[in-house]
Chain A
Amino acid sequence: MPGSEITLANDGPAAPPRLNGELAFDAPWQSRIFGVTAALVEGGAMSWPAMQSALIAEVAAADTAGDEDTNSRYWTCWLAAVSKLLSDAKTVDAEAVEAEQHRLAELYAH
């Protein structure tokens, strides 16, 4: 995905979390979507088995497409799965999310 390269700090608040010295996430958005998903499941707004199935489908599609197999790709699949579930269930309005995303892009461009 273009634009997904993020320069990581080794220290400080922008540094990615590490688990046993090994990266579990290689960008802050990855841990963020993980946490958002966990909060949705815990709050009952999303079912974990449904999320698992959606993730499996996204990973299979990426495998089939032959996308480069990276940790980032995995979390991109995760994000796509969450977005699709929320949109399909009409929990959120996909257009509203997209509009917010464009608003943020504008905001950060200045």
Chain B
Amino acid sequence: MTDHTHHGHTHDDHTHDADDPALAVEALETILVEAGLIDPAKVDALIHRYETEIGPLNGAKVVAKAWTDPEYRRRLLADGTAAIAELGFGGAQGEKMVVVENTDDQHNLVVCTLCSCYPWPVLGLPPAWYKSLEYRARAVREPRSVLSEFGTELPAETKITVWDSSAEIRYLVLPQQPPETLGLSEAELVEYVNRDSMIGVRVAGV
């Protein structure tokens, strides 16, 4: 990232007042840098890393492996944190990862009713809707309607379980493998695992 975005200000196209959060952030960063607590280059690198390197692709690799390797699937469902760590992904913050499996009878949906707890190491940054009050409130109260709005219509007999993520436990949904993809390789299957299917608001597929 360049110095331009680093200080983030194009003071020719808008004005700042003292309440502007952009100024508050810049002031805070300046003080922290002066105190030797952070390095601006490190901040740039971390933003870049979360935007481009850590993302839903990590989770997709976990799911594709589980679809093709029954032994891995067993380990993943028994101890999500350890099985995900096998692929080199883990929480810098050390949260426990729990993987919940979708079946014909059981659909799982993940929410964080309190704020935005989310399995960042495998899914990257949470989408805007995940953080909204509307999703946080309605996912618990009327999950079937919420799913329907995402275009996910489940049979009436399918049970829906809503998992409330917390600072300590992060849930990841293991979606059902689309029937048309049976026989594909692990690498090919990664393409079929979308982020929303690992939150549980959609099914897997392209």
- Chain A positions within 8 Å of B, measured between CB atoms, are 1-7, 13-14, 17, 19-20, 22-24, 26-29, 31-36, 38-43, 45, 48-49, 52-53, 55-56, 59-60, 63, 69, 71, 74-76, 79, 82-83, 86, 91-93, 96-98, 100-105, 108-109
- A32 and B43 in contact, given A97-B31, A101-B18 (Cβ under 8 angstroms): yes
Kindly list chain A residues whose C-beta atoms are within 8 Å of the C-beta of B9.
Answer: 108
Tell me which of B17, B29, B131 contacts A32 (CB under 8 A): B29
Interface residues of B in 116-171 (CB under 8 A from A): 116-117, 124-128, 131-134, 167
Give the size of the chain B interface in residues (CB under 8 angstroms).
58
Q: Is B32 within 8 A of A36, CB to CB?
A: yes
Q: Is B115 within 8 A of A59, CB to CB?
A: yes
- Chain B positions within 8 Å of A, measured between CB atoms, are 1-2, 4-5, 8-11, 13-32, 35, 37-39, 42-44, 46-47, 50-51, 55-56, 92-93, 114-117, 124-128, 131-134, 167, 195
Kindly list chain B residues whose C-beta atoms are within 8 Å of the C-beta of A69.
Answer: 132-134
- A56 and B14 in contact, given A29-B25, A32-B8, A36-B25 (Cβ under 8 angstroms): no
Kindly list chain B residues whose C-beta atoms are within 8 Å of the C-beta of A75.
Answer: 21
11 contacts between A and B (CB under 8 A): A14-B5, A19-B124, A29-B26, A40-B37, A41-B93, A56-B167, A71-B128, A79-B28, A92-B32, A101-B18, A104-B26
Kindly list chain A residues whose C-beta atoms are within 8 Å of the C-beta of B1.
Answer: 13
